[in-house]
Structure 1
Amino acid sequence: MRAVSTSRTRTRARTSVDGLRFAFGTLTVLPVRVTRWDRAAARGGMLAAPLAGLVVGLAAAAAGGLLLAAGAGPLLAAVAAVAVPAVLTRGLHLDGLADTADGLGSGKPAGDALRIMKQSDIGPFGVITLLFALLAQVAALYGLYGAERGWAYGAAGAVTAGAVARLALTLASRASVPAARPEGLGAAVAGTVPVRPALVVTVLVLAGAAGLGAAADGPWGAGHHVLAALLGLAAAQGLLARCVRRLGGVTGDVFGAVEETAATAVLVVLAAG
């Protein structure tokens, strides 16, 4: 009996490690090798996605903070805090946002829209969407870094946006969301995450956002960060629902668009406060 229990514990540990490898290996450029590409690893990877977002957010906050400490000013700090996540993800999420905008904006049937999204070029809808998303992120972080509260509020915003944006990927991978194609990252992770673990991860991320907000700006900051996280997730889920209706499911590009939508909405809500 003890041998069976030990074997199960080792199996769970290996699955957890494989999930972490999947999350960091597919969502970042960090030198992490994905050792398994199956549904179990994908489920663990999508549940661990906010952890990858936390690392990316911390790197973004560090870049912004270092520039502020060097006297570069809040605008350059904001640019750096936006550039670092793009570099650490190879720009894949931004590319997904642009491709999804082209597909949805084309007005064509689902099959044609998916073919447009798969093409390597970028159309006018993608360019415009990408431009305004990046401008919104830079402007929001500029407001946060330049606020009287100091660099800590900008850093907290960058970290919260990073984690919540990847939490949106966790929720987009829940069991009720289908894949639009039979291949690709979307097909690998679509429908892998059960509802209950997704809710547990959501609560943990919201608690972390509240803690960051409280550390930066007291009780008001805690509530503000939770509100920003919830509205960011709502915006991402709205886009996800639109993509499922329009395209028949999710793709890797849709995941990128969902992530960038959540990150942008979180930052905008924080700056608006």
Structure 2
Amino acid sequence: MSEQFERDEAGTGGGWQAVAVDLAHCVRFYSRLPVPALPFEQTPHALPSFQRLVRVIPLAGLLIGLVPAAVLGLGLMLDLGPWLAAILSVSAMVLTTGALHEDGLADTADSFGGSTREKRLEIMRDSRIGSFGASALFLSLALRIGALATLASRIDGAAVMAAILMVASLSRTAGLVPLVFLSPARLDGLSQAVGQPARETFWLAAGIAGGIAVVLGALAGLPPMGVALMLMLSGLSGLALTGFASRHLGGQTGDIAGAAQQVAEIAALIGLLTAIRP
């Protein structure tokens, strides 16, 4: 299907039109946001090819992060308090993405119960959630809400909103690391269907995500050390999940990419938090 996408979109105009089409496909894939078909877009609902879309994933993450950032800012403006504002913001992110990454984290955690590679892959394909998956979801939500609430109690709302945008871009880029550096663990999974991104394109995406984080961090007045920790820890999270997937499954899956995004988001938020004292 990704090859069909490549052929169908080959006729799209170059330059900004090609970037706009890739960005539209990327936002549709990663979220439930109602992205209309562009006038020059030939296959708006085709399965995207990550061989093409990697370059715009940091920008897609930035757009997706606008919703939870706005919700948090509105909550703080209405004096709802940092904890309730953080809960509403994380809820908005889950609704915006359709719990795409949370599903991957839960399936990955549930695979801990498998004794063999084949059993682990079978568990990950099962739509039912087990105790490992439920625990992982609870911990992920709790850590993200706690980190955002603590940040909101230490810095102004605009800076926290900027941090949400930075994390949304960095974590989705980190989620690509397993897809780039490992082969698919199964031949009929989603990661196989969307294609393996080229490493050169991934490094371009990583540079864009890093540039977005540095610029937003400077504009928001966030400490440079905190921004550096966000960059470093999100990248290390992607590498850690890549190593885990290699040992655990002998390759990567879409669920592993989702788990990498979740871990990177938590790590980046905590990294920034450690650089901001009460």
Please report the TM-score for the alignment, with normalisation by the length of structure 1. 0.87
Q: Is the 8 A contact 1:140 1:271 kept in 2?
A: yes
Aligned ranges for residues 108-147 of structure 1 at < 5 Å?
A: 108-147=115-154
Q: Which moved more, 1:198-207 or 1:261-270?
A: 198-207
Pick aligned residue for 2:219 from 205, 208, 215: 215
Pick aligned residue for 2:61 from 30, 48, 53: 53
Deviations 1:14-65 (A, max 9, x none): 6544422331121111223644436xx3222233222121012121111000
Q: Which amino acid aligns with 1:153?
A: A
Q: Is the 8 A contact 1:210 1:223 kept in 2?
A: no
Aligned ranges for residues 1-273 of structure 1 at < 5 Å?
A: 10=13, 15-32=18-35, 34-37=44-47, 41-103=49-111, 105-147=112-154, 149-174=155-180, 176-191=181-196, 193-217=197-221, 221-273=223-275
Query: What residue ranges of structure 2 are gaps of 5+ in the alignment?
Result: 1-9, 38-43
Q: Which amino acid aligns with 2:225?
A: G
Where 1:261 maps in the other structure, the secondary structure is helix
| 4+ residue segments displaced more than 6 Å | none
Q: Is the 8 A contact 1:47 1:170 kept in 2?
A: no
Shift of 1:152: 2.1
CA RMSD of aligned residues (A): 2.1
Q: Which amino acid aligns with 2:33?
A: L
When the two structures are aligned, how many residues end up with a matched partner?
A: 259
Q: Which moved more, 1:116-125 or 1:236-245?
A: 236-245
Question: Distance between the aligned counterparts of 2:45 and 2:11, measured in 1?
Answer: 19
Deviations 1:188-207 (A, max 9, x none): 2352x222222122122112
Deviations 1:191-232 (A, max 9, x none): 2x22222212212211211122222225xx233113212211
Residues 205 and 54 of structure 1: CA distance in aligned 2, closer, same or farther (over 3 Å): same
Question: Distance between the aligned counterparts of 1:243 and 1:173, measured in 2?
Answer: 10
Q: Is the 8 A contact 2:107 2:124 kept in 1?
A: yes
Question: Distance between the aligned counterparts of 1:23 and 1:184, measured in 2?
Answer: 18
Percent pairwise identity: 31
Q: Is the 8 A contact 2:177 2:238 kept in 1?
A: no
Q: Which amino acid aligns with 2:149?
A: Y
Please report the TM-score for the alignment, with normalisation by the length of structure 2. 0.85
Q: Is the 8 A contact 1:28 1:52 kept in 2?
A: no
